[in-house]
Every structure is written in structure tokens, then in C-alpha cells.
Amino acid sequence: MKKILAIALALLMLTVMSVEVAAAFNRSYTAPMATVKVDGEIDPIWEKAEWTNVDKPHDGTADTNSTMKIKLLWDPDFLYFLAEVYDEDLNADNDIVEVYIDQNQDKAGDYGADDYQTRFKIGGGGVVKDSGKNCQNDAKHVAKSLGGNKYLVEGALKWLGGAPKEGSKHGLEFMYNEGSKTADFVQAYRWNVDTANGDPAPYASTAAFGTLTLAGPPVVETTAAATTAAAAEAPAKAPAQAAQTFDFVTLAAAAALISASGVIISKKRK
């Protein structure tokens, strides 16, 4: 009987552990190094960055009427973001894109001097002033409609703990705050923080942030590079062309000799 109870308890513990593991998102993102102009006109270099989805309702519901996807680039001065949002009830004042960074990656819980939360309105209001810990009120930001129920937000945030290095890791979180014409909050969609399963909210703690890795510059093929590559291949074709020219000249010379020999032989016979 004791063995049966022990086995049952062990199975129960394994089940609980499995649930806890399943509840953790453990998301990470790798951002290429590049500098872009924040103007709402998408620079081609953005194609080198991958989209990641911000689609986890804060309360665990299955409501996905509004979703956001986002991508990042970085340089020693700024962390750049490009967000695309779909919302069935767009509202310029109450729909908010939020970016959170724990620059030292300590995920200590309380916000330190290197941690920040900055919120961006989709309308012309720009940054929601003083709306988060170490909020960057002067952050660059452009929002534009993509038509229908979609809009785009491009922005840049200054690094607070000094210029980061290639290969460094940092705490990262995103949130899309969905509002309406009559309410400043309807739903919150998050990236890694799982408040439905016990994670602290990102504006209160950095403990459950995901991870950002800063990669090197992406490989970009330019027109100059393509021209150089074509020029590098040219010498390899030259010998074949020279050989063809040589063969033609040789054949012509041989034909001339044969013709001349025929004339000589003919004269001798006479």
C-alpha cells in the first residue's frame, strides 16, 4: 500500500512539474546590428530581422481579436523596433505599444537604473509621458495606418546602462494594450510574461522577461558586391576564349600550308 501511495505521489509531482514547464514561454529574440532612420518608411534592412508575435492575453483567455508582431534592430546608441498591429477596434488614444528592457539581464524583480518601460500611442500623441519606470519621454516614434484594421509603429529607444556589446544578452518584454473609444483598457497581449500562470506583470517586475541577444551585422549583398563577384569570375572564362581563338588561328594556318603544298606539288608534276 505504501509503495502504491509513493508511486501515486511521484506521478502527481511529475504532472505538476509538467504543467509548470508548459506554462513558461521561455521566449528569446536575436536582433541584428544595423542603424535605421525612424520615419515610418521601412528601410530594406528591416528584412534581415525576424518577426515575433505578441499574442498572449494577460488573463489566459482565447481572445485574439487584436494581435501584434514586432521585430528589432540595434546599434551602440539605440534599440530600434518595428511593430505591426491588427485591432478590430482601433483607437488612437487607448491602443498602446509597450517595450520593456532589463539591460543588465539580472531579472531581479524591482526596476533598476538600467531597466525601462516606454509606451507609444498609435495616434499622433507619441510617447505616453511618464507612464512607466524610466520612461523615455523623448523616444523617437512614428505611427502610420496600413489601411483597414492595421497600423505600424516604428521607434528607437536609447540604451540606459551604456553601449551594449555584440553577443550580449538582455531582458526583454513587449505588450500591446488594447483600448476602445470608451475605455483605456480592454485586453493586454504579452510576449513572454505569463500572468495567467503566476508571473508578475511586466510593469511591476522584470523577473519573467524573455531574453534579447544582440547579434552582429547581417550579410547584405549590394550592387558593388555583385559586380565584384562577376569580375572575379571573368578570368576563369578567359583561358577558354583564348583556346578557341588559338584553335581558329591554327586551323587557318594549317589550311594555308596545305593549300600552298598543293600548289608546289602541282608545279613539280608539270
CA distance 187 to 180: 10
The answer to whether residue 255 is domain-embedded is: no
Each residue of 124-177: pLDDT tens digit? 668 999 988 999 999 999 999 898 889 999 999 999 988 999 999 999 999 999
Residue 41: give its domain's CATH number: 2.60.40.1190
**Mean local confidence (pLDDT), 201-212:** 95
Task: Give 37's contacts (C-beta < 8 A, 6+ positions apart).
Answer: 43
34-65 pLDDT tens trace? 999 999 999 999 999 999 999 889 998 866 67
DSSP H stretches of helix in the chain: 2-23, 223-269
Query: Strand, helix or coil at 45?
Result: helix
208: in domain: yes
Q: Is residue 120 part of a domain?
A: yes
pLDDT score of 89: 85
CA–CA gap between residue 228 and residue 118 (Å, rounded): 44
- Check: CB of residue 74 under 8 Å from CB of residue 31: yes
The amino acid present at 165, given as its one-letter code, is K
Rounded to two decimals, the pTM is 0.74
* Number of domains within the chain: 1
pLDDT for position 54: 94
* pLDDT of res. 13: 43
Per the structure, the complete domain to which residue 53 belongs is given by: 27-214
188, 176 contact by CB (below 8 A): yes
135 found inside a domain: yes
Whether residue 226 lies inside any domain: the answer is no
> Does residue 66 form part of some domain?
yes
Given a contact cutoff of 8 angstroms between Cβ atoms, the answer to whether 184 and 221 are in contact is no
| Residue 133 covered by a domain | yes
Parallel, antiparallel, or unpaired: how do β-strands 28-31 and 210-214 relate?
Answer: parallel
CA 215 to chain centroid? 11
Contacts of 170 (CB under 8 A, 6+ apart): 101, 102, 103, 104, 105, 164, 211, 212, 214
Q: Are 57 and 64 within 8 A, CB to CB?
A: yes
How far is the C-alpha of 85 from the C-alpha of 49, rounded, in Å? 17
**141 within a domain of the structure (yes/no):** yes
